[in-house]
């Protein structure tokens, strides 16, 4: 298959990915809007099992751990089929959403693989490819969180972010397959940029959980949880807060590594580790915000809204680092 054929296949897989993600988004939204309240209970149960597994010493209870994981996954999908008419309808929407997410994820992976083969390089050398990879990382992070913690209630929000990101990438940022800027023609693109992509995808999931926490917390404090409403189908605000914390704790060391590896790459490419380039500054500002969030939670005991606001400020800095810096400032990292 020629490079042109691979590039064409990549574009067709992108269309397939977007369609599947849109279907998944709609299915998650229907499940969230009309599903049963037991969805929240299933998520709480999955989280409790994950906490129990984390406390089991290494090598102990391996068989029980496997069984618990399988039961948690089953809880994510819902109650057994055939319970009643309402139950069957809800399970169908969940299964459709998860199926479309998995198939879309596979097509999404194909988009990047075929484009990389067509360009004979790592497929994140421009804004179109980078945003495509971030959306892929966000969906991957969501799938892991959904499996481990039963957090399918995040599906509508994460899939919305992925669809918007892919829409922006295809409508405004699309670039034909071609060589990269000379500064990016390095093996460091597979290390530094990959770490930044993984961290950004995970931070996106944490941001969605944080927004939901603030909404749920406000409703709980005002006693405004309507029976059968959307918020009543989500886990407690405390559970959402813990989930955001866990995902951020995972992503932060990866973001830290991305900054360090970027400095090493900068020394090789431009002869200095740090040059106060706008991208470098805002990457560090983002790091400071997330470090302050984690530090405040560990040392000052910050929980709840204060910590959530700090987390959202960090996520806003992350988004500005990606969009604002590339289009509002000029510098060595301005590849837009």
User: Per-residue pLDDT tens for 189-228?
Assistant: 899 999 999 999 999 999 999 999 999 988 888 776 655 5
**Is the same domain home to 29 and 165?**
yes
Domain boundary among 131, 148, 180: 180
pLDDT, average across residues 147-170: 95
pLDDT, tens digit (0-9, with 9 covering 90-100), for 105-115: 999 999 999 99
**Is the same domain home to 246 and 170?**
no
pLDDT value, residue 3: 87
**Is the same domain home to 22 and 163?**
yes
pLDDT value, residue 178: 85
This prediction's pTM: 0.84
Residue 103 has pLDDT above 50, yes or no: yes
Provide the percentage of residues in the chain whose pLDDT is more than 70. 79
**Is the same domain home to 166 and 241?**
no
Question: What's the mean per-residue pLDDT of the chain?
Answer: 84
**Is the same domain home to 79 and 151?**
yes
Position with higher pLDDT, 326 vs 187: 187
CA–CA dist 210, 304 (Å, integer): 10
Residue 185 has pLDDT above 70, yes or no: yes
pLDDT value, residue 15: 97
DSSP-derived secondary structure for 77-126: H-SPTTS-HHHHHHHHHHHHHHHHHHHHHHHHHHHHHHHHHHHTS-S-SS
Domain boundary among 143, 161, 180: 180
**Is the same domain home to 216 and 292?**
yes
Q: What domain range includes position 262?
A: 184-336
**Is the same domain home to 329 and 233?**
yes
**Is the same domain home to 270 and 305?**
yes
pLDDT, average across residues 262-273: 88
pLDDT, average across residues 4-22: 96
**Is the same domain home to 116 and 174?**
yes
Cβ atoms of 308 and 213 within 8 Å: the answer is: yes
Q: By 3-state DSSP, what share of the chain in percent is helix, strand and coil, each rounded to 5?
A: 80, 0, 20
Q: Please, which pLDDT band fits residue 183 given cuts at 50, 70 and 90?
A: confident
Domain boundary among 164, 180, 196: 180
pLDDT value, residue 298: 86
Highest mean pLDDT among 88-97, 183-192, 326-335: 183-192
pLDDT, tens digit (0-9, with 9 covering 90-100), for 37-61: 555 556 666 666 666 666 665 555 4
**Is the same domain home to 238 and 164?**
no
**Is the same domain home to 162 and 112?**
yes
């Amino acid at each position: 298959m020629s490079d042109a054929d691979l590039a064409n296949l990549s574009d067709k897989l992108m269309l397939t990915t977007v369609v599947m993600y849109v279907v998944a988004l709609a299915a998650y939204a229907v499940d969230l809007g009309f599903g049963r309240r037991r969805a929240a209970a299933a998520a709480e149960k999955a989280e409790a099992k994950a906490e129990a597994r984390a406390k089991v010493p290494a090598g102990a209870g391996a068989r029980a751990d496997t069984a618990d994981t399988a039961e948690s996954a089953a809880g994510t999908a819902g109650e057994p089929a055939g319970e009643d008419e309402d139950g069957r309808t809800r399970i169908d929407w969940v299964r459709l959403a998860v199926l479309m997410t998995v198939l879309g994820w596979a097509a999404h992976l194909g988009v990047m693989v075929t484009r990389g083969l067509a360009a004979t390089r790592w497929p994140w050398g421009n804004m179109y490819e980078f945003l495509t990879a971030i959306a892929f990382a966000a969906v991957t992070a969501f799938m892991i969180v959904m499996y481990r913690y039963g957090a399918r209630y995040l599906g509508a929000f994460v899939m919305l972010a992925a669809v918007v990101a892919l829409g922006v990438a295809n409508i405004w940022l699309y670039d034909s397959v071609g060589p990269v800027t000379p500064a990016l023609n390095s093996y460091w693109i597979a290390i530094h940029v990959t770490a930044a992509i993984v961290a950004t995808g995970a931070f996106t999931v944490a941001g969605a959980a944080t927004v939901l926490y603030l909404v749920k917390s406000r409703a709980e404090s005002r006693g405004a949880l309507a029976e059968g409403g959307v918020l009543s189908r989500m886990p407690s605000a405390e559970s959402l807060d813990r989930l955001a914390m866990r995902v951020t704790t995972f992503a932060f060391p990866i973001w830290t590594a991305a900054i360090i590896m970027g400095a090493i790459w900068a020394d090789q490419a431009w002869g200095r580790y740090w040059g106060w380039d706008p991208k470098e500054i805002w990457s560090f500002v983002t790091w400071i915000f997330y470090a302050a969030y984690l530090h405040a939670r560990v040392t000052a005991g910050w929980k709840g809204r204060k910590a959530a606001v700090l987390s959202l400020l960090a996520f806003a800095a992350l988004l500005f680092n990606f969009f604002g810096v590339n289009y509002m400032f000029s510098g060595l990292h301005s590849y837009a």
